[in-house]
Amino acid sequence: MSATATDTISAKLLDWYDRHARELPWRAAPGVPSPDPYRVWLSEVMLQQTTVAAVAPYFAKFTETWPTVEALAAAPEEEVMAAWAGLGYYSRARNLVKCAREVAAMGGFPATEAELRKLPGLGDYTAAAVAAIAFGERAVVVDANVERVVARLFAIREPLPGSRKAIRAAADEITPEERAGDFAQAMMDLGATICTARDAKCLLCPLSADCRARAEGNPLELPVKPKKKPKPSRTGTAFWIEREEQVWLVTRPGKGMLGGMRALPDDGWSARGDGDDEAPVSGAWKGGGVVRHSFTHFDLELGVAIHAGDEPSPAGEGEWWPVEAIEDAGLPTLFAKAARLVLAGRG
């Protein structure tokens, strides 16, 4: 596109954003000074592979509990992990603490994309988003929504992920020097509300006259995505060990799935079987049902075995947690499902 055309695109989009920007708790309205970098960073980390609706209550809780990056840096990691429970992708929470402590030691967030990228957990997208939105630096911000808008706008037909270089170059072409943060958020909003994956509301789109995919009559065909491979299945067993109205919880190793989180003890989950049966039981154990959970790379069916023998003395390190306060333990979704299953079985 010519320089005039790209300038027109950014002007049209910013004009649309000034009238239709979503009101989000971490966002400053158009024309208002940039928001606190802490709030921008926190929201962007939470929003990775997670919906706005899911993030909003977590963001409110975090900013109420830890209103500044210094407060978050001083928080015990286990408290942050517990508050994060349910958001998934728990490596984000571990990096959140590491990053907060590094930023607090530096005396604040660096203001450039290049320096932000050096912080723990900040990849290309997050560093660009914080630089543009919080500091007004011109940065090319490309998330899944922007990827879709740009692929359609420029009719980029190479399948993902191979097309990402071309998509980024096209996004760079239309990103303005001024109001880069508002432009990035406008692109996100356009992809989230108008140019969606399942619908293209072209009659409402401020860029419809410039959209090559619309001109060709096939916007929903883009971006071209590779065929999904079927997920492997795993099975496993979680163990409910209770005494005196307290349940035995362990802390998972810092590395690996659900690292650093409180959880029920389990058998490590295997790749065997089809997962249709309840947990194997014998002797001091009885079956408590099966919970199903989908991770990014596999599906899991987890049988629950309930200790039904004499007074239990579990091996290894852990803690006794009041059953009535199990919702406060910060269990990841998988183990929260297992706990609810056990408690529901009591009638």
Same domain, 158 and 29: yes
What is the rounded CA–CA span in Å between residue 66 and residue 58? 12
Q: What is the CATH number of the domain that holds 294?
A: 3.90.79.10
What is the rounded CA–CA span in Å between residue 305 and residue 299? 19
Does residue 243 fall inside a structural domain? yes
Same domain, 123 and 268: no
Q: Which of 198, 221, 244 is the last residue of a domain?
A: 221
Residue 188: CB atoms within 10 Å: 23
Contact status, residue 166 vs residue 156, Cβ threshold 8 Å:
yes
Domain that holds residue 255: 233-344
* Amino acid identity for residue 56 in this structure: A
Position 7 scores a pLDDT of 78
The domain tally of the chain equals 2
33 preceded by a cis bond (ω within 30 of 0)? no
Backbone torsions φ then ψ of 32, nearest 5 degrees: -95, 145
Same domain, 18 and 154: yes
Q: What is the CATH number of the domain that holds 193?
A: 1.10.340.30
Does residue 288 fall inside a structural domain? yes
Same domain, 171 and 37: yes
Same domain, 80 and 127: yes
Same domain, 207 and 243: no
Position 164 scores a pLDDT of 95
Position 258 scores a pLDDT of 86
What is the rounded CA–CA span in Å between residue 89 and residue 77? 16
| Helix/strand/coil percent split, the chain, to 5 | 45, 15, 40
What is the rounded CA–CA span in Å between residue 96 and residue 116? 13
Look up the pTM and report it.
Answer: 0.81
Contact status, residue 145 vs residue 152, Cβ threshold 8 Å:
no
* Amino acid identity for residue 207 in this structure: L
Does residue 227 fall inside a structural domain? no
Does residue 66 fall inside a structural domain? yes
Instruction: Pull the structure tokens for residue 136.
Output: 């007004």
Closest Cα to residue 139, out of 106, 167, 103, 176? 176
Instruction: Pull the structure tokens for residue 343.
Output: 């408690």
Name 161's Cβ contacts closer than 8 Å, sequence gap at least 6. Answer: 226
Q: Which of 175, 190, 221 is the last residue of a domain?
A: 221
Residue 159: CB atoms within 10 Å: 12
Same domain, 55 and 179: yes
Does residue 228 fall inside a structural domain? no
Position 2 scores a pLDDT of 60
SS3 141: coil
Range list of β-strands (E), the chain: 233-240, 242-243, 246-251, 262-263, 285-294, 299-307, 319-322
What is the rounded CA–CA span in Å between residue 196 and residue 214? 14
Contact status, residue 138 vs residue 173, Cβ threshold 8 Å:
no
Active site residue 77: no
Same domain, 181 and 289: no
Range list of β-strands (E), 80-160: none
Same domain, 177 and 102: yes
Same domain, 119 and 240: no
Contact status, residue 135 vs residue 190, Cβ threshold 8 Å:
no
Position 253 scores a pLDDT of 84
Does residue 38 fall inside a structural domain? yes
Instruction: Pull the structure tokens for residue 328.
Output: 């406060």
Position 10 scores a pLDDT of 95
Catalytic residue among 44, 113, 147, 301: 44
Residue 260: CB atoms within 10 Å: 22
Same domain, 311 and 274: yes
What is the rounded CA–CA span in Å between residue 333 and residue 293? 8
Distances (CA, A) of 275 to 133, 270, 292, 299: 46, 10, 9, 10
Gyration radius of the chain's alpha carbons: 24
What is the rounded CA–CA span in Å between residue 327 and residue 336? 8
Does residue 89 fall inside a structural domain? yes
One digit per residue, the tens of pLDDT, for the chain of length 347 reads 666 667 799 999 999 999 999 999 999 999 888 899 999 999 999 998 889 999 999 999 999 999 999 999 999 988 998 899 888 888 888 899 999 999 999 999 999 999 999 999 999 999 999 999 999 999 999 999 999 999 999 999 999 999 999 999 999 999 999 999 999 999 999 999 999 999 999 999 999 999 999 999 999 999 999 888 888 999 999 999 999 999 999 988 877 788 888 999 998 886 544 444 455 555 688 888 999 999 888 999 999 999 887 777 787 789 999 999 999 898 999 999 999 999 998 86
Backbone torsions φ then ψ of 246, nearest 5 degrees: -130, 145
CA 167, 172, 175, 179 torsion-angle sign? positive
Position 276 scores a pLDDT of 45
Does residue 226 fall inside a structural domain? no
Q: Which of 221, 247, 276 is the last residue of a domain?
A: 221
Same domain, 8 and 44: yes
Range list of β-strands (E), 92-155: none
